[in-house]
Structure 1
Amino acid sequence: MIKATVKTLAILGASGHGKVIADIAEQLGFCVSFYDDAYPNKKNIEHWPVIGTFSDLLNVPSTNINVAVAIGHNNTREVKIKTLAKNGYMLPVLIHPTAVISKYAQIDLGSVIAANAVINAFAVVGRGCIINTSAIIEHDCRIGDFTHICPGTSLAGGVSVGRASWLGIGSKVKQLIHIGDNTLIGAGSLVVKDISSDVTAYGSPCVKVSENSQAF
């Protein structure tokens, strides 16, 4: 009898978001373990083991392991993903079974699509993105690398969002709007005009309130 191959997934970051990724991964048939720089002081997260640090992970042969990066801070997630990719690690796209993904959508490596998210026809999601619970990415949207679309956020058709931006929980974006790079849109905002790069903006309607500190 030929034994079925067990898929393994190392999750970098023993965090709340890590728990979400672990849940998705198990539903996709992965066996999960965690790596976190708090090890050995932190040896488990819920029932999952934490078995090493990021340096320990980089000592595991890249041909033997899939890796997901469960780090919410966009720029830190970018650094870790780029390091892992440079070293040949597999960075699968993880899609919750309840998510609805058009066959015409494109999703790049290392991105995570959470429960009940919708990504519609000809939308493009970049590398290392988080499309969180019940987010809606409508047709022809473009989401830049390492951007986080928070739970319940809705993007109408043709919206473009730059790299490493953060759209807060429950925000809504009118069709054909452009949001720049490294920009934070506050929770519950209604975006009806373009928002430039490197700013914090919020409100209904959403307006710039400050230059951002990239602390997201």
Structure 2
Amino acid sequence: MLLYGAGGHAGVIAGIARDCGKTIKALFDDDLQKTEVAGIPVTGSYNTGLFVNEPIIIAIGNNLIRRRISSQITHCFVSLIHPSALVDKTVTIGTGTVIVHGSIIQANSQIGNHVIVNTGASIDHDCKIADYVHIAPGVILCGNVCIGESSLIGAGSCIAPNITIGKNCIVGAGSIVTKAVPEGAVVRGSSSKVIRISAL
């Protein structure tokens, strides 16, 4: 398989691939200063003609960059689930998504394309996670939570049941969210106070 991205997140995904018995045949990055990740040499910029039958994952944590790059890829995408993750059989997972070590995803949840469910995150029943979302390490989503496209849920945050978080939102690390979050909002703290709303 192939990876696009040579930062710290790529190292995590390379480890997941190894634990899943996969071999990284090429690792692309547009930064030609980068030479290796987790002992894997960086091949150079993305090459549409290299290993054309191998699937690829965009190994970049930034949601907006991941979304932009996805439209430039001609290889087919694949998802990875670390063997230590617990994913109920009723869960649906889109393509290009990575489920990291120790994550739990409960019954009837829907995970979109190019999503990151990071280390030790817990997603309870009937949650809906849209494309390009990043659920950071240690996040807890209670039942029936909906997260809009390209939103980031910061490390250690807790989202109460039946809450909807809009597109392009940022929930600061350690936040407790007990009410709906509008599109483009940045929220932080135990009261999930809206700090600002970005232009969409």
- TM-score per shorter chain, which class? over 0.9
The answer (yes or no) to whether the contact 1:195–1:207 under 8 Å persists in 2 is no
- Report the residue type matching 1:195 in the other structure: V
Task: Please tell me whether residue 31 in structure 1 is matched to residue 19 in structure 2.
Answer: no
Superimposed CA distance per residue, residues 145-177 of structure 1 (whole angstroms, 9 cap, x where no aligned partner)? 000000000000000010000000000000000
Superimposed CA distance per residue, residues 29-74 of structure 1 (whole angstroms, 9 cap, x where no aligned partner)? 11113111122x32222411101212x2x22253x21111011111
2:125 to 136, 139, 142: 139
1:58-97 equivalent positions in 2, closer than 5 A: 58-60=48-50, 62=52, 64-84=53-73, 87=74, 89-97=75-83
Which residue matches 2:91? 105
- Alignment gaps of 5+ in structure 2: none
Distance in 2, matches of 1:194 and 1:22, equals: 36
Distance in 2, matches of 1:176 and 1:45, equals: 40
- Alignment gaps of 5+ in structure 1: 1-8
TM-score when normalising by structure 2: 0.95
- Give 4+ residue runs of structure 1 displaced > 6 Å after superposition: none
Aligned residues: 199
Distance in 2, matches of 1:26 and 1:46, equals: 11
TM-score when normalising by structure 1: 0.89
> Quick one: structure 1 residues 61 and 10, their matched pair in 2 at CA, closer, same or farther if it must change by over 3 Å?
closer
3-state secondary structure, aligned to 1:83? coil
- Report the residue type matching 2:49 in the other structure: N
Higher Rg: 1
Percent same amino acid among aligned pairs? 35
Distance in 1, matches of 2:177 and 2:86, equals: 24
2:152 to 166, 179, 198: 166
Which range moves more in the overlay, 104-113 or 65-74? 65-74
- Report the residue type matching 2:68 in the other structure: V
3-state secondary structure, aligned to 2:194? strand
3-state secondary structure, aligned to 2:16? helix
Which structure dedicates a bigger proportion of its chain to helix?
A: 1
The answer (yes or no) to whether the contact 1:107–1:127 under 8 Å persists in 2 is yes
2:189 to 203, 209, 216: 203
